[in-house]
Amino acid sequence: MSALPIMILTLSIFALGYRYYSAFLAAKVFALDAARKTPAHTLRDEQNYYPMSKWVLFGHHFAAISGAGPLIGPVLAAQFGFLPGLIWIVVGVVLGGAVQDFVILVASTRREGKSLAEIAGEEISKPAGLVCAVAILFIVIVALAGLGFVVVNALAESSWGTSTIAASIPIAMAMGVYIFAKHQGSHEAVRIASIFGVTALIAAVVFGKFVPELPFLNHIFLLNKQSIIIAMAIYGFFASVLPVWLLLAPRDYLSSYMKLGTIFFLIVGICIVNPKLYFPAVTHFVNGGGPIVPGKVWPFCFITIMCGAISGFHALVSSGTTPKMISNECHARPIGYGCMLLEALVGVVCLIAVSALHPADYYAINVSPAVYQGLAAGLNHPVNLETLTRQVGEQTLIGRTGGAVSLAVGMAQIFSAFPGLSGFMKYWYHFAIMFEALFILTTIDAGTRIARFILQEFLGRIYKPFGKPDWLPGNILASAVVVFAWGYLIWNASINTIWPMFGIANQLLAAIALAIGTTILAKMNKWKYLWVTILPMVFVTVTTLTAATQMVLYHYWPKSATPFIVNLNTGLIVVMVGCALFIFASAFRKMCTLKGGVIRPSKNA
């Protein structure tokens, strides 16, 4: 089968979903009002609350939510065939993921930009808020570790990619100073800074290919995995502590140009090249026993592909940095619902790119040589691997597990199929590796800041100054604790231990967010619209709890995992599931109370 019909169908469904379903949510369910003051104006403090222009915030939000999930999840889930993942991404995002992002963004914006845990405490009960804070803290650290692990694999031993990522930091800070410190966020300043930033970033990408040829620069930027973890932790710490306008927002905005530009050219490439999909629609691994994902297609395809369809991590962004910067309530529709559709489109493009590889080549890259030799006949004899290895300029592609390398090869294969570009596959491959790291790292910085907010809220119950987001000692301490926690998990992880944990944690948080959103709609007396959150909540909850149970009972951990890591992962799953069940029960009791009493619309309706 060719890729073009899939791309046309996906774009059509997404366009219809945004045009009609998001309009229904905005007009009927929440009745968005442009005249309603947002916390970016009422609580403006120049540090965390700051009114951003719609498209700058759109870029920040898209960059913050679009991490490893839509890139790596579809690649790993391709072992089931391209059809299960495609259906989950397209249907899941329109009816679930984009709905969750939009609902939580509006809810937080109408509640002074409060976090998901604070909203749970107000709308459900104080114990539910406390348990939600604990659950979110565990979940977000696991999620950041999962995201960071992919960055480490992508950038390790790549001085080209590392130098480009490093260059984006001073470029973004210069943009932040120019736009916000000197010109108070004027549209003209945004335009000028955007031109400068995009030009400088493209120059960094182009000249980055010469870094490996210069011994002095290559020595600085050629880092092993441990050094990448340390460098990433240092960056995450400063991105969390510094004012949001100085580094976080402008860097995410700048990165969004690279992300959207690359995805746009990939879509164009797929439409022009129309690559053949060598992967079947469904493989025999749907019944379990896969070399990458050991469980059956349900539930494991749905936790392997998360951010592309629905992601609890997005609820943290939608109740973290974004509602504190949204200047007009009506912007919640393109930012909340629209950005999620774009991320799903990324997931579909990545699924197509990797499905264009021969299955035997795909497995040769994504599993260890020992496992590869044990696969069935026809899957353990490479087809084009030797040619691909030579074309991308690597010594070997065998056993480059984790999904990042096979995705880069698939992307490079599509780019190089353009007329006149066949001889540049090596450059496209390294560009794709850099793109993956840039794509994911923006989620790391926003996620660390969000986790810092959550930890400060939690510690504020013990010592009140910690609860103030602008208290510098609290910022520094909370940021350091969060960075150390996810850094430790990455240091001791493998893709087979961290990715299932990331999937379960992420989807549990999505179920929690949808339960909170359902309670909010009930308090708004919107009972006839409760189905918009209940339907995806029930599916995600049942799927994720089933996956968590199977992970614990059947021990789907790799043989290389140490007993400590297995026990740690199992313990984290039990804690997260326990917290989620408590919140579900609390939300159900709250709605039963509301239904049985006299309901008055919430003041935040």
Please report, in angstroms and rounded to a whole number, the separation of the first and last CA atoms in the chain.
Answer: 48
- Is 66 in contact with 443 (CB distance < 8 Å)? yes
In order of 355, 367, 387, 429, 445, the CA distances from 400 in angstroms are 17, 7, 16, 14, 26
| SS3 state at 434 | helix
Tell me which residue of 234, 321, 437 sits closest to 56, measured CA to CA: 321
> Residue 96: is its pLDDT beyond 90?
yes
In order of 49, 67, 217, the CA distances from 434 in angstroms are 32, 13, 17
When pLDDT is cut at 50, 70 and 90, the band that residue 599 belongs to is: very low
Backbone dihedral angles phi then psi of residue 359, each to the nearest 5 degrees: -50, -40
Give me Rg for the CA atoms of the chain.
Answer: 23
Q: pLDDT per residue over 322-346, tens digit each? A: 999 999 999 999 999 999 999 999 9
Q: Which pLDDT belongs to residue 248?
A: 74
Q: Which pLDDT belongs to residue 432?
A: 83
- The residues, any chain, with a CB within 8 Å of residue 504's CB and separated by 6 or more, are 303, 544, 547, 548, 551, 573, 576
> Residue 115: is its pLDDT beyond 50?
yes
- DSSP annotation of 306 reads -
Burial class (CB in 10 A: 0-12, 13-18, 19+), 546: middle
pTM value is: 0.85
Q: Which pLDDT belongs to residue 605?
A: 56
Among 169-173, 397-401, 498-502, which range has the highest average pLDDT? Answer: 169-173
Q: pLDDT per residue over 551-583, tens digit each? A: 877 765 555 567 777 777 788 888 889 999 999
Q: Tally the residues of the chain.
A: 605
In the structure encoding, which two tokens stand for residue 81, read together? 């065939």
CA atoms of 454 and 134, how far apart (whole Å): 9
- Is 326 in contact with 57 (CB distance < 8 Å)? yes
Backbone dihedral angles phi then psi of residue 34, each to the nearest 5 degrees: -65, -20
CA atoms of 80 and 58, how far apart (whole Å): 34
CA atoms of 593 and 474, how far apart (whole Å): 38
Asked if the bond preceding 275 is cis, omega within 30° of 0, the reply is no
Q: Report which of residues 185 and 536 the model is more confident about.
A: 536
Q: What is the average pLDDT across 180-200? A: 82
